[in-house]
Amino acid sequence: MPEVLKMMNRLFNESGDLHYPITEGEFEARYYQATCNLQAFSASKSPKTDFIENLEHVEDIRVLAMLKFFEENGRNATVMFAGMFPLHACLNHACDNNVEVMDGMVNGTPAVHVRVKHPIKEGEELFTTYIDTSMPRKLRRAWLYKSFSFWCVCKRCKFEGDDNSECTECKKPAEGDKKWPGCSRCKRAWYCSSQCQKKAWVNGHKDICSMKHTVSHQGVSK
């Protein structure tokens, strides 16, 4: 990256009457903005696969040797791409995301699809995820703050806790070596009493307790 910064400054200084010095701080900020909106994806069929399938229709004895070679050396090969897509770049983050970005094909060309995870109401905002939502809440929120400068306040972050030293619902700390019991299903929330557990369940924990996680970080959902 330092060499790219030097190159960009040289290009701007040698482009005639336009002179625009680029500082290291501005370069890093612009580079970061671009990479945050970059989406990695792969083709469902690689050029190698297409080539082999075309060979199978050729009536030539030499093709048999080629097909045998490809069979012995692996038939498929993943080809990764990266691109910036308007819809994907406009999606905000939520750890309880309602859409996932998937590999796809559009008019025979490798692309991405934005697919809903569950029924969405008219007017409801679409949320993707910038991270692996199966990460512990504390690590997840710290990573998001460090990388994107915001504290996530989605329903998953609201109704999951950091550890068993504090009640996830009323925030009451456990005393001494005592630890609060956790949710037996998701094991990501801890409560000081059955009353707090029931209250959290009704208020929203039931919506995220068994919600499927999305493994995604600057790439395609898995």
pLDDT tens-place string over residues 166-175: 999 999 999 9
Where the chain has pLDDT below 70, the residues are: 44-47, 74-78, 216-222
Residue 52 lies in a domain: yes
Q: Which domain holds residue 28?
A: 1-36
State residue 220's pLDDT score.
46
Residue 185 lies in a domain: yes
Residue 129 lies in a domain: no
Q: What is the 3-state secondary structure (H, E, C) of 161-209?
A: CCCCCECCCCCCECCCCCCCCECCCCCCCECCCHHHHHHHHHHHHHHHC
Model pTM score: 0.69
State residue 66's pLDDT score.
79
Residue 28 shares a structural domain with residue 77: no
Instruction: Give the Cα separation of 15 and 46 in Å (integer).
Output: 40
State residue 65's pLDDT score.
82
Nearest one of 143, 40, 142, 145 to 82, comparing CA atoms: 40
If DSSP codes are grouped into helix, strand and coil, which group holds residue 114? strand
Residue 23 lies in a domain: yes
**Total structural domains in the chain?**
3
